[in-house]
Structure 1
Amino acid sequence: MSHYLVTGVNGFVGQYFCRLLKNRETDLHIIGIDLDATTPCQDHGFEYRQVNLLTEPEAVLKVVVEFQPDYILNLAAVSSVSQSWKNPAACLAGNTGIYANLLEAVRQGCPDARILSVGSSEVYGDQPEGAMPLKETALLKPNNPYGISRVAQESLSRLYQESYGLQIMTTRSFNHIGPGQKEQFVIPSFVSQLVRIAESGKFGEITTGNIDLVRDFSDVRDVVDAYWRILKQGMSGEVYNVCSGKGIRLRDIICTVAEILEIKVITRTDETKIRPKDSKWIIGDNSRIKQSFGWEPEYALIQTLCDIISYRITE
């Protein structure tokens, strides 16, 4: 029997990862950790613990010692770039503190576990267009508090891997989307506004931030498949880009969704959604995970957008 510990399990990615495990493995036990009193995950073989990884290190250690996980997926984090600008100290303290407490618990209570530390492409920062697609060897120069916190997380991974021999793999995950993602993120925000226009008429206006940015979007179902493969087969100390390898301008996504919904739309820039600094292009090179694990994206962007639209219409 495989034992999985998933932190941040109630989040968007955590729920998809647990579904994948249930479909991929027959003999397993999952313990999920999150801040909420309850969890939406109710499957057989799943247990839930309400634990604050930042403020309750003893509780984290207790779970790790008692459960003895074979695999740990760390999704617990402050994951919003916009929120990191509003409260930089909370983002930095949260992401580094959460991860440090988890690593200490593993070091003390279950040092043979395989850990996947989920990071972000925001560690690359503002790179020139000619540098795309970004390989894992690219210079790290984060340009927001969230990206800085993820660099610190990578440094902690390296420290515990080299000093204590913990088995830690790290991802630099680029933007991922799918049905069920909260509206605080850019694509669900666009789709929700456009669906409301389609339901009320054929023409309308949506508010946006900077829609001339180019981003690399993957379907969350492809992302959790990559995470599972890295946990099972990844090399300790290695870093893996998780991305589609393709860039698209945010403005073009709005146009595509509007075409699917058969509506006309104009955009209005909301200055409050403009960040102090933003990267113009973030496109990743996924050759390492392709070559290492035979991973290939299954979901085209158009299919993912259609699934998000369907989810927003029926929710």
Structure 2
Amino acid sequence: MTKKALITGLTGQDGSYLAELLVSKGYEVYGLVRRSSSSNLGRIRHLGDKVKILSGDLLDQSSLMDVITESAPDEIYNLASQSYVPLSWTQPALTAEYTALGVSRLLESIRRCKPDAKFYQASSSEVFGQPDESPQTERTAFRPRNPYGVAKAYAHWMTINYRNQYNLYACCGITYTHESPRRGSEFVFRKITQGAAKIKLGLDKELKLGNLDARRDWCFAQDVVEAMWLMLQQEQAEDYIIASGAVNSVKDLVKYAFDYVGLNWQDYVSVDPAFYRPDEAVLLAGSIDKIHKELDWKPRYSFKNLVELMVENDLKELTDRSAS
């Protein structure tokens, strides 16, 4: 029997990679898309009619119930949220509505309309905020330091509460920073790979960055969505950290990107304190011991592989754009 899946956040980086993965596995895939963003389907256009688009909104519970009833999914992946941390400070209430309360509405809709569906909630390393241990594990205390992290912590615990209270198959993947060629250029990883490509092609002369010593746990979005899928194939719902298990600095990222295009990064990169983040000193690094041991999952792409993949993609995109 063909499995059916519903993805919220379909048009985002993770949603598009997850849709690809599920289509390749023979799923009937449905995507929840807000009416206002229905034209923003660039990341999934290549899938054509293999994904069925349904209109709904995490702010409107009746629309969620309608979509779940219509699609009758076996698996539901909630990847929708306001996910840009700086924006969560300027729009804290909106971030809470989508990222926190939106999950409550979705869980309640599942309970009422399709309680046998398996549910995946995209949690975030931002729930740890300023952790008292590194690397963090699934047992590390939550201490979020921004409105986005607070909203994700609420959503995480609501998912666990619905699992315990109503015996739903509901689990959380605590994902660390993950990147891909589909990442927006406002995020530092893409800003750097695109910057190196632009300078190599003569389209720019300088790249301004913040703290080069800031360190992150980065992995490839394609690896991350595979972990999401694996989590819903188990007998029992469990929460897992999804990360690379390694930490690299912004300087490492810059060096790999500029090495790939044959340039000395020190000739082109300048530091601007305006780009420093207030929580830059916090080291978020995830332990993947549990997910590796229990689900046999670990990233296939190394940090260096990922940097080179994205620089190559940016070179091609920029070259094609110049030619057209």
1:86-141: CA deviations, max 9, x gaps? Answer: 2222212221122111111101100111000011011111235xx32211111211
1:48 to 46, 53, 74: 53
Separation (CA, whole Å) in 2 of partners of 1:64 and 1:272: 45
Task: Give the Cα separation in 2 of the matches to 1:235 and 1:189.
Answer: 40
Q: 2:294 aligns with which of 272, 292, 295?
A: 292
- Counterparts of 1:126 and 1:255, CA distance in 2: 28
Partner residue in 2 for 1:83 = 87
The answer (yes or no) to whether the contact 1:125–1:147 under 8 Å persists in 2 is: yes
Asked if structure 1 preserves the Cα contact closer than 8 Å seen for 2:56 and 2:67, the reply is: no
For structure 2, the 5+ residue unaligned runs are 318-324
Structure 1 equivalent of residue 250 of structure 2:
250
Q: 1:244-283, aligned counterparts within 5 Å?
A: 244-265=244-265, 266-283=268-285
Equivalent position to 2:165, from 163, 179, 183? 163
Instruction: Identify the range of structure 1 (215-224 vs 203-212) with the bigger mean alpha-carbon deviation.
Output: 203-212
Q: Which amino acid aligns with 1:120?
A: S
The residue aligned with 1:30 is 29
RMSD value, Cα: 1.8
- Cα 1:71–1:50, aligned 2, differ >3 Å: closer, same or farther? same
Paired letter, 1:311: N
Amino acid at match of 1:261: V
Task: Say if 1:269 and 1:87 are closer, same or farther in 2 by CA, change over 3 A.
Answer: farther
Seen in structure 2, the aligned counterparts of structure 1 residues 309 and 140 have a Cα distance that, compared at 3 Å, is same
Percent of aligned pairs sharing the same letter: 26
In 2, the alpha carbon distance for the partners of 1:277 and 1:302 equals: 25
1:234, CA displacement in angstroms? 6.4
Residue 117 of structure 1 is matched in structure 2 by 121
Report the counterpart of residue 218 of structure 2 in structure 1.
217
Aligned equivalent of 1:104:
108
Offset of residue 59 of structure 1: 1.3
Question: C-alpha displacement at 1:277, in angstroms?
Answer: 2.9
Q: CA deviation at 1:44?
A: 4.4
Q: How does 1:134-149 map to 2 (within 5 A)?
A: 134-149=136-151
Matched, 1:191 2:193: yes
SS at match of 1:72: strand
Q: Distance in 2 between matches of 1:297 and 1:32?
A: 26
CA contact (8 A) 1:188 1:308 kept: yes
Q: What letter matches 2:33 in structure 1?
A: D
Q: Secondary structure at the match of 2:251?
A: helix
Deviations 1:165-191 (A, max 9, x none): 221010110010112211011100111
Asked whether the equivalents of residues 177 and 216 of structure 2 are also in contact (C-alpha less than 8 Å), the reply is: yes
Secondary structure in 2 matching 1:153: helix
The 1-side partners of 2:92 and 2:213 are apart by 25
Q: Which runs of 5+ in 1 are unaligned?
A: none
Correspondence for 2:322: none
Q: Give how far 1:205 is off.
A: 2.5
Residue 160 of structure 1, CA deviation? 1.3
1:207 is aligned with what amino acid?
K
Question: Structure 1 counterpart of 2:30, which letter?
Answer: I
